[in-house]
Amino acid sequence: MSKTPASPKGKPGPKPQPRKAAAAAPDAGASPEGDRIAKVLSRAGVASRREAERMIAEGRVSVNGEKIDSPALNVTAADRISVDGKPLPEAEAPRMWLYYKPIGLVTSNSDEKGRTTIFDELPEDMPRVMTVGRLDINSEGLLLLTNDGGIKRKLELPSTGWLRRYRVRINGRPKDEDFATLRKGLVIEGERFQPMTVALDRQQGANAWLTVGLREGKNREIRRAMEDIGFNVNRLLRVSYGPFQLGELKPGEVEELRSRVVRDQLGLEPEEEKPAGRPTRSRGGKPGGKPAGRPMGKPGGKPGQKAQGRPGKPSGKPPASRGSDTAPRGVGKRPVGKNPRR
């Protein structure tokens, strides 16, 4: 019986030659290269994602010279994008502002009833911004603004879990045990509200001041919860949103956060510090003008200086919230002025 001759001792046999690799077919399960066109438009400060999708459907967006009608398209830096025939501006660095929303302004880009919105009252040279969450027309206090749609979505997610603190004035003489239901969580008209932190601060005549904390912001959540247990809210002021504090801002004032604070608090990638832009100016063109957009109606009573525990003597300044949250501050305050671009 014949045998296949072995390789000489000490010399390895011939290695099998690798087959030629077939052309790599695109993996159906792999993520497409680049980002969705609506996300790119949002990052460039053109519009929110939802507004960008509407612009695309209206045929106002072109990619590489061709109009598109669907947002289901990924683009890269190599693609040429234009909106209304104009090249897309470069994406801005993520920025955030603290804004004291006065009573009487609507937190939306436009209002079907013709009411004044916060965007009508922001300074003229503010870039296009979006709000992080909302405050209803009768509520006041801290509202976060950003030029970045990704930041907006991240901070609005319940999973982010940032505590929002409010100073709340209710009519009546409550006892601490009256708020047990709110601390456990409750269901109103089939909608479940997560547990709130409620501290009874003091009684002031026919009204009581509370400090309320929650981690998700449903529509009129605190007002509805208080009504459910028999109390009417007659003033509601947000004093903090996670680590960001209302501080000494007055109604209508805007304050930009330092880029380092934004990066540190949001866990963004570090980038080179850029020189500060021009200061925001008022309608008269001079910095430091008086803020416009005054509240509609004068709210009765003024909150104490402390957000929880025993409140201090009422004053015209909004209270700073105590707690484990730190209070990063921004740079100079920005007075309010009309913004015809909104």
Active-site residue numbers?
Answer: 136
Q: Is 178 helix (H, G, I), strand (E, B) or coil?
A: helix
Q: Is 320 helix (H, G, I), strand (E, B) or coil?
A: strand
Of 235, 250, 257, which is closest to residue 303 (Cα–Cα)? 235
Q: Buried b / exposed e across 154-193, counting CB within 10 Å, b at 16+? A: ebbeeeeebbbbbbbbbeeebeeebbebbeeebeeeeeeb
How far is the C-alpha of 45 from the C-alpha of 310, rounded, in Å? 43
Length of the chain: 342
DSSP state of 49: H
DSSP state of 257: E
Beta strands in 84-135 (DSSP E): 86-87, 96-101, 130-132
